Amino acid sequence: LAFHSDVARYRAAVTVVEVIQRSTDFLARKGVASPRLNVELLMAHVLGMPRLQLYLNFDRLLQEKELTAARDLIRQRGNRTPLQHLVGSTSFCGWDLRVGPDVLIPRPETEQLVERALEFLQRRTGRGERPWTVLDFGTGSGCIAVALAKGSSATRVVGCDVAAAALRVAAGNVAAHGLTDRVSLVLSDKFSALQPGERFDLIVSNPPYIPTPLIAQLDPEVRDHDPRLALDGGTDGLAFYRVLAADAPAFLRSEGRMLLELGDGQAGEVRAVLEGQKWVVEAEDADYSGRIRFLRARHQSLLPAGARESRSSES
């Protein structure tokens, strides 16, 4: 009997590299982008090792429970559950963050938004005065708030969001990075629960910007797994840019700026929305694929009087 069960175990035994190869083919058939990378990251998660260490373990036989766990994750990934939900975390600006179905998975473009915000803050904090303050409007996982507070020790951040479940995730990330003294979180529908009279040096936002009718056409990972609240920018995708254009000036200090991430192809429309509310667009920047995705603006009411007059006489 012992002999037979040994033989059965031997026949069932598979190595790490075999599972990687079969699973890669499976995910490719299911239409998952970068299938091999996905499989390697899931295998590394199951085996509790960094991905590159898999290469030193290719011939290792998987234990039954490891195989079961790997199969389960690969099956879910094949059903287009996002990789980050399966492993429970993601990397953002080099920081490890917990994520899940209650928050938008932070995107690489947003790391570029953070870079621009940090450049702005570095110019300010170089003046060496009071703590500088940022509002992260629609904080979600807290990725922007955490990365800004980590990247600029003289900065305090308020992250606001209408989703209580998202704020719980953000709170976990803020605490895990030891930032509870400099990052606070506010449950707020748009600006409604912010302290009246509170003013920030910078308002940064990656707001929901997908036009409602286009949500159905998104990849399943996004359409079925990112919270709809994090995607839906109203009929034309511009609803939150209108809110920010109208309401943000009351929450900015003089010299304050607003820095926004935009959907691909929205730059002209967002600029028009802002200019219609007396914002001066100072910078439009492209992402790595050359598309305008970031916009920095200041409000005319916050310009020094002389500059305000010359601006209005220009227009």
Binding segment for ligand SAM (CB under 6 A), chosen from 146-154, 173-181, 188-196, 300-308, is: 188-196
Of 145, 140, 138, 202, nearest to 179 by C-alpha is 145
- Report residue 130 as tokens: 């009071």
CB of 262 within 8 A of CB of 272?
no
Report the residue count for the chain: 315
Q: Is 190 in the site for ligand SAM (CB under 6 A)?
A: yes
CB of 283 to ligand SAM, least distance (A): 19
Backbone angles phi, psi at 222, to 5 degrees: -85, -55
Cβ–Cβ contacts within 10 Å for residue 104, how many?
Answer: 22
Residue with tokens 């079969």: 22
CB of 208 to ligand SAM, least distance (A): 5
Nearer residue to ligand SAM within complex by CB, 103 or 303: 103
Pick from 73, 144, 146, 245 the residue near ligand SAM by CB under 6 A.
144
Q: Is 302 in the site for ligand SAM (CB under 6 A)?
A: no
CB of 26 to ligand SAM, least distance (A): 30
Q: How far apart are CA 194 and CA 38, in angstroms?
A: 40
Pick from 35, 100, 140, 249 the residue near ligand SAM by CB under 6 A.
140
By rule CB under 6 A, what count of residues binds ligand SAM?
22
CB of 233 to ligand SAM, least distance (A): 9
Q: Is 230 in the site for ligand SAM (CB under 6 A)?
A: yes
What is the distance of C-alpha 308 from the center of its chain? 35
* 26-48 burial code (b ≥16 CB/10 A, e <16): bbbeeebeebeebbbbbbbbbbe
Binding segment for ligand SAM (CB under 6 A), chosen from 34-42, 58-66, 75-83, 136-144, is: 136-144
The residues in 15-74 that bind ligand SAM, with binding defined as CB under 6 A, are none
CB of 110 to ligand SAM, least distance (A): 4
Residue 302 CB contacts under 8 Å (≥ 6 apart), including other chains: 249, 252, 253, 254, 255, 256
Cβ–Cβ contacts within 10 Å for residue 241, how many?
Answer: 27
Q: Is 112 in the site for ligand SAM (CB under 6 A)?
A: no
Pick from 118, 146, 163, 262 the residue near ligand SAM by CB under 6 A.
163
Q: Is 259 in the site for ligand SAM (CB under 6 A)?
A: no
Q: What residue ranges bind ligand SAM (CB under 6 A)?
A: 104, 106, 110, 138-141, 143-144, 160-163, 166, 188-190, 206-208, 229-230
